[in-house]
Amino acid sequence: MNKKISLYVLVGAVALTGCNKKMQDFAAEHFTTNPNPLEVVGDNVPGTVTANVPQKFFKKNAEVTVTPYLSYGMDNKATSQSYTFQGEKVKGNNPVINYKEGGTVTIPVNFVYTPEMMKSDLYLDFNVVQGKKVYTLPAVKVGEGVVATSTLADATTVTPSAAADKYQRVINEICDANLMFLINQANVRASELKKGTSVSNFNETVAEASKADNKEIEGIHVSSFASPEGGVKFNAKLSEKREHSTVNYLNKNLKKEKVDNYGDITSEFTAQDWDGFQKLVSESNIQDKDLILSVLSMYSDPEQREKEIRNLSSVFDQLAKEILPQLRYSRISASINTIGRSDEEIAAQYKADPTQLSIDELLYAATKTDNVNEKEDIYKTAVKQYPNDYRAYNNLGMAQYVKGNYNDAKANFEKAASLNPNSDEAKMNLGLIKMMNKDYNGAREAFGSAANAEGINEAMGVYYLRQGDYQTAAKAFGDSKSNNAALAQILNKDYSAAQSTLEAVKAPNATTYYMMAVVAARTNNEQAVYANLRKAAALDASIKDRAAIDKEFANYNVANL
């Protein structure tokens, strides 16, 4: 009897010991990380770790809390959110792992990226609560390194939007006058040439232009007309006579005024000015003008038109008095160019005395140099001389942004926006500042209200890159040939397009060649990897340090470029 009792006690003790036995250690082969290595998306390093728990592994009374963390640099550690799983006998609301069958659980991970994370290790910590016992299991390494290629997206390389100058070297103006004739006559009357008439003013303008050093008369044109009554044949001859008499008068007057630099006098005549007739009637207060206009729309033959309008006896007398006399004329037009300063003259004037330059000449002058320091000096001059023109502040901020002076650039963009709240250029440029400061909501709002700004597509492309939306970024860049555009193509795995874009970059820099090396690595072109990394390192020695820890080049010996 005592022997049986002892046997029962022994069996119970063994059973109790089995229930309280600690969980065995997890191993790396229990976990799969995706992606591995992790990749930067926007400002974060997201991913998932899938745990494949084997059969008869997870204790029924165990509760395991898993904490992912990245270990990097000198004792730096970034932790992700913890997740808890439990055995089937634990009372709780966490996902359950069956002891007999095992199971699969997914652990999301996410870290705020810092550059040191490129060289890092991903671990999982395990804290176990099993009955009254609380203990830890050894951490397990489940990943190595962070691919940071997406961080090559660079808002500082986006050229801010410039407010355009309105400078035109050649400004064309048309000076014209109407020489009126009496009914059925083609002679030029003295009353039409008196001082103060449109013809007299025309003559004075042409004479002054011929003597001015900065003006050029391209040519003079004469168009002669007859009013639409009296028959087409008769009016054709009449308007032709008016053409000849007007041209003869002009030739005599130009000779008298000693104007000989006017190019050519061209001329034409129109038998009946139905277009002018329709315009004058539609603008008049004639009671039956709608009836007259309907006749014009019903008949295209000029003889029929004249006949039908004459039949409108109630209004024809009014037409003959108010409308038809205005259609017996020759229009004289002179095309006159005003010639502004040449590029060389503007540059010389800026050195001698910039106060003599207009705001548009100053803004234009800045576009004629590629030296950003010279641009900044010119824009500072523009701000000083024209403190109420938003374009001067915006473009000064643009030059400062390119130089990396972001605080001053921001101040000038803000000043431009205060002077012109509707300026698309200032809105976009302030959006760039916001994006640099990781104020992505503010950047999105700024870009959304700057749809017509030059360079907005490039800015939006970088914004979408920073959001991890690579397809939309590629669409925003369109046909842009920039490092940022190529990066969008790389992240979309369109390597052929990325290579073409990088080869077309006008001023390739270290980043350009570094991206070419990334494309080469992803397409297994070993020779191009080394060649492009050497070019990049020649332009920026710090590239060597990045390449040495970049998982893009994990299969290449890039430590000694």
* Chain centre to alpha carbon of residue 50: 41
Q: What is the mean pLDDT of residues 219-242?
A: 92
Calpha distance 127→86 (Å, rounded): 12
DSSP string across 16-57: HHHHHPPPPPP-GGGEEEESSSEE-BTTEEEEEEEEEEPTTT
The b-or-e profile of 252-285 (16+ CB within 10 A means b, else e) is ebbeeeebeebeebebebbbbbbebbeebbeeee
Q: CB under 8 Å to 181, separation ≥6 — which residues?
A: 187, 189, 242, 328, 329, 330
The residue from 339, 366, 400 where one domain ends is: 339
What is residue 518's predicted lDDT score, i.e. its pLDDT? 98
Q: Is 11 a member of any domain?
A: yes
Query: Are residues 175 and 106 part of one domain?
Result: no
**Bridge partners, 395 (sequence order):** none
Query: Are residues 112 and 222 part of one domain?
Result: no
Per-residue model confidence as pLDDT tens digits over 162-209: 999 999 999 899 999 999 999 999 999 999 999 999 999 999 999 999
Instruction: Lowest mean pLDDT of 261-275, 360-374, 537-551, name the range.
Output: 261-275
Q: What is the mean pLDDT of residues 359-363?
A: 97
Q: Decide if pLDDT at 7 tops 80.
A: no
Query: Are residues 330 and 268 part of one domain?
Result: yes
Q: Is 429 a member of any domain?
A: no
Which stretches within 78-191 are classed as H helix?
none
Which tokens is 190 given? 């003295």
Q: Is 512 a member of any domain?
A: no
Name the DSSP letter for residue 193.
Answer: S
Q: Decide if pLDDT at 302 tops 90.
A: no
What is residue 315's predicted lDDT score, i.e. its pLDDT? 78
3-state class of 445 per DSSP? helix
Query: Are residues 265 and 217 part of one domain?
Result: yes
Which tokens is 467 given? 């959001």
Q: Decide if pLDDT at 285 tops 50.
A: yes
What is residue 525's predicted lDDT score, i.e. its pLDDT? 97
Q: How confident is the model at residue 6 (pLDDT cuts 50, 70, 90)?
A: very low
CATH code (residue 85):
2.60.40.10
Q: Decide if pLDDT at 3 tops 70.
A: no
Instruction: Lowest mean pLDDT of 260-269, 392-401, 431-440, name the range.
Output: 260-269
Instruction: Lowest mean pLDDT of 86-90, 320-324, 353-357, 429-433, name the range.
Output: 320-324
Choose among 196, 191, 188: nearest CA to 253: 188
Q: How confident is the model at residue 313 (pLDDT cuts 50, 70, 90)?
A: low
Which tokens is 375 given? 């641009």
Query: Are residues 307 and 174 part of one domain?
Result: yes
Query: Are residues 230 and 134 part of one domain?
Result: no
The terminus-to-terminus CA distance of the chain in angstroms comes to: 84
Q: Tokens 């050649």 appear where?
A: 170
Calpha distance 97→421 (Å, rounded): 60
Choose among 428, 45, 463, 153: nearest CA to 473: 463
Contact 145, 120 (CB under 8 A): yes
Q: Is 473 a member of any domain?
A: no
pTM of the model: 0.76
Q: Is 500 a member of any domain?
A: no
* Chain centre to alpha carbon of residue 128: 54
Calpha distance 491→489 (Å, rounded): 5
Query: What does DSSP say about strands 83-87 and 96-97: parallel, antiparallel, or unpaired?
Result: parallel
Q: Is 499 a member of any domain?
A: no
Q: How confident is the model at residue 304 (pLDDT cuts 50, 70, 90)?
A: confident
Q: What is the mean pLDDT of residues 444-472?
A: 96
How many Cα atoms sit within 13 Å of 482 on the Cβ side? 24
Q: Is 197 a member of any domain?
A: yes
The residue from 112, 147, 182 where one domain ends is: 147
Calpha distance 153→40 (Å, rounded): 11
Calpha distance 196→188 (Å, rounded): 16
Calpha distance 56→72 (Å, rounded): 35
Query: Are residues 319 and 202 part of one domain?
Result: yes
What is residue 552's predicted lDDT score, i.e. its pLDDT? 97
Choose among 455, 466, 495: nearest CA to 159: 455
Query: What does DSSP say about strands 96-97 and 103-112: parallel, antiparallel, or unpaired?
Result: unpaired
CATH code (residue 229):
3.30.1330.60
Calpha distance 25→41 (Å, rounded): 32
Q: Is 91 a member of any domain?
A: yes
Total count of domains within the chain: 2
Calpha distance 489→473 (Å, rounded): 9
DSSP strand E in 271-361: where? 329-339
The residue from 147, 181, 205 where one domain ends is: 147
Tell me the percentage of the chain whose pLDDT exceeds 90. 81
Choose among 370, 373, 376, 372: nearest CA to 362: 376
Q: Decide if pLDDT at 25 tops 60.
A: yes
Query: Are residues 123 and 19 part of one domain?
Result: yes
Structural domain of residue 221, as residue ranges?
170-339
Q: Tokens 């728990």 appear where?
A: 53
Q: CB under 8 Å to 353, separation ≥6 — which residues?
A: none
Calpha distance 160→332 (Å, rounded): 47
Query: Are residues 138 and 8 part of one domain?
Result: yes
Query: Are residues 222 and 255 part of one domain?
Result: yes
Instruction: Lowest mean pLDDT of 79-83, 281-285, 349-353, 536-540, name the range.
Output: 281-285
Calpha distance 465→62 (Å, rounded): 43
Please state, rounded to an integer, the average pLDDT across all residues of the chain: 92
What is residue 5's predicted lDDT score, i.e. its pLDDT? 36
Q: How confident is the model at residue 229 (pLDDT cuts 50, 70, 90)?
A: confident
What is residue 20's predicted lDDT score, i.e. its pLDDT? 58
Query: Are residues 310 and 174 part of one domain?
Result: yes
What is residue 223's predicted lDDT score, i.e. its pLDDT? 96
Calpha distance 20→523 (Å, rounded): 54
Helix, strand, coil abundance in the chain, percent, nearest 5? 50, 20, 30
Q: Is 180 left (phi over 0), alpha (psi -120 to 50) or beta?
A: beta
Choose among 329, 331, 336, 334: nearest CA to 177: 331
Calpha distance 182→326 (Å, rounded): 10
| Environment class of 2 (CB within 10 Å of its CB; exposed 0-12, middle 13-18, buried 19+) | exposed
Q: Tokens 């900044």 appear where?
A: 376
Query: Are residues 332 and 278 part of one domain?
Result: yes
